[in-house]
Chain A
């Protein structure tokens, strides 16, 4: 919902490198969040 136009803005303003950097930043954020999540066996 946000990623596609955000990448579009990055492409037309800074070029494709910034668009792929945006993708990498979100992926890194999600990877960090995995350390805060509880697994299925902990949710019983």
Chain B
């Protein structure tokens, strides 16, 4: 039961962060009109978020690992809520960028920590499906932003009120996170330097950029596309645009499930046992099927 509660709360957190990735996207026509932005400047709101995300991840990943996953995820939620609040009351475009950057920093603090948190929850067991659910939370949050924020903005009379509601909901998630179960600290098997030296990690980052990154970038513009090209109402454009992200929600969970099935079949063919137990700790890895060719270099692996 604590495992399910922990996974549920970490997925709720992922949904909250997913909302911040695209909170401005369906409201671009309103935000751009108020601040006088062109399309590139509107796109830079996403850049502010992910640039802060990148800097925070590179600079603070070691600190985050020492602080522990539960406190880091909570701090990330508080930071994201504050960023959304700042965006909601921003008097100018630069302050809006700072608000978006704060959202990105909060998400970065929580992202790595949450994967470590799930590893701690599962202990020696494989956590692929839980990680898939966690990963699906982000596009789900982005889809929710596209569906509901235009409607809220229309109902409450503007984009600032919609972002204010979002900030309040993220703060509620931060409060709910207090009931997440404590987990044992699972140290990462490597650090950022190992990841930078790892060719496979770079290739995996290309997959992540094309999957998650393009989903967010496309999600930023899909509402505007439907609004401008087909003259649809803002709320309907958001709803139809969210379908783009809904596919990612399903695909991520299915991907986690497929990885788990494949790991089980590999284990069964190697050992005859259908129930693999392994740890993310380097000295307690699952015995694996002998590779067809020996790996030529050390890899940071999935723990980074």
A43 and B295: CB pair below 8 A?
A: yes
Asked if B31 is at the interface (CB within 8 A of a chain A CB), the reply is: no
With known contacts A4-B47, A44-B288, A44-B295, A11–B207 Cβ distance under 8 A: no
When the two chains form their complex, are residues A36 and B291 in contact, meaning their CB atoms are under 8 A apart? no
Q: Do A1 and B40 touch across chains, with their CB atoms under 8 A apart?
A: no
Q: Which of A10-39 contact B (CB under 8 A)?
A: 11-12, 16, 19, 23, 26-27, 29-31, 33-34, 36-38
- In chain B, what residue has the closest Cβ to A30? B210
Question: What interface size band does chain B fall in?
Answer: 35 or more
How many A-B pairs with Cβ below 8 Å? Answer: 107
In the complex with contacts A4-B47, A30-B210, A41-B203 CB distance below 8 A: no
Q: Is the CB of B291 within 8 A of A42?
A: yes
Chain A: residues with Cβ within 8 Å of the partner, total of 29
Instruction: Determine the main DSSP class of A at the interface with B.
Output: helix
In the complex, what's the smallest C-beta–C-beta distance from B247 to chain A, in angstroms?
Answer: 13
The interface of chain B, by Cβ under 8 A from chain A, is 38-47, 50-51, 53-54, 200, 203-204, 206-207, 209-211, 213-214, 216-218, 220-221, 224-225, 228-229, 259, 263, 266, 285, 288-289, 291-293, 295, 299, 301-302
| B289 and A41 contacting across the interface, CB-CB below 8 Å | yes
Closest 7 CB pairs of A and B: A3-B217, A30-B210, A8-B43, A5-B43, A4-B46, A1-B50, A8-B39
Beta-carbon contact of A6 and B204 below 8 Å? no
- Knowing A4-B46, A7-B43 touch, does A23 contact B218 (C-beta < 8 A)? yes
In the bound complex, how far is the Cα of B289 from the Cα of A41, in angstroms? 7
Interface residue from B47, B206, B292 paired with A2 (Cβ < 8 Å): B47
B203 touches A33 (CB 8 A): yes
When the two chains form their complex, are residues B295 and A37 in contact, meaning their CB atoms are under 8 A apart? no
Listed residue (B38, B47, B50) with the most chain A CB atoms within 10 angstroms of its CB = B47
Task: List 28 A-B pairs, Cβ < 8 Å.
Answer: A3-B46, A3-B213, A4-B43, A4-B44, A4-B221, A5-B43, A5-B46, A7-B43, A8-B38, A9-B39, A9-B40, A11-B39, A12-B39, A12-B40, A23-B214, A23-B217, A27-B210, A27-B214, A29-B210, A30-B206, A36-B203, A38-B295, A40-B302, A41-B291, A43-B295, A43-B301, A44-B285, A44-B291
